[in-house]
Structure 1
């Protein structure tokens, strides 16, 4: 069963390290995303097969099963591979919309 996400929610995806591309970039495999993705990692401590958590915001809901997440670039994945980090809460008003009468 798919989880319900809303636009603006902060979500996490667990990706697997594929290989080191350069000194500061690592190629990762994201579940249910059919293309390789690279991220910046300057620690030089990650190894092939290690899991990394990528955090981004939900930008688009295709249907109940597919969600687009902004990880620097938009990535569309199944909702079942996502974990909710923070739900979006709209800002609250501190002042009234209209001026007070004089």
Structure 2
């Protein structure tokens, strides 16, 4: 299981820009994903080889693989993701005590 990462946490994946597909989309290579991924990017300054950070929430964890929602689910190695914000946990339960 991925240490320090839980379901609902906000994480970052650093991807490399492959090429600009259209005026507002770029194709990126995500480490350990195995196929190109396209993301919306309005800036025209991104060029081939630059790094871009993709932020998403963890939706599934299985051993050393983590699924992150980047608009579409992307499953990568746990070593590729970096924790940004942990999902808040409650110190008190939502249920009332019985009377």
- TM-score normalised per structure 1: 0.85
> SS of the counterpart of 1:89?
coil
Larger radius of gyration: 1
Q: Deviations over 1:37-73 (max 9, x none)?
A: 000011111000000000000000011x100000000
Q: Normalised by the size of structure 2, how large is the TM-score? A: 0.87
- Size of the aligned set, in residue pairs, is 96
Match of 1:56 in 2: 56
1:6 and 2:14 correspond: no
1:20-31 → structure 2 map (5 Å cutoff) = 20-31=20-31
Q: How does 1:48-87 map to 2 (within 5 A)?
A: 48-63=48-63, 65-87=64-86
SS in structure 1 at match of 2:23? coil
Q: CA separation of 1:96/1:66 partners in 2, compared to 1, >3 Å: closer, same or farther?
A: closer
Contact 1:10 1:84 in 2 (8 A): yes
Alpha-carbon distance between aligned partners in 1 of 2:24 and 2:7, rounded to the nearest angstrom:
31
Which secondary structure state, in structure 1, belongs to the residue aligned with residue 79 of structure 2?
A: helix
Root-mean-square deviation (Å): 2.0
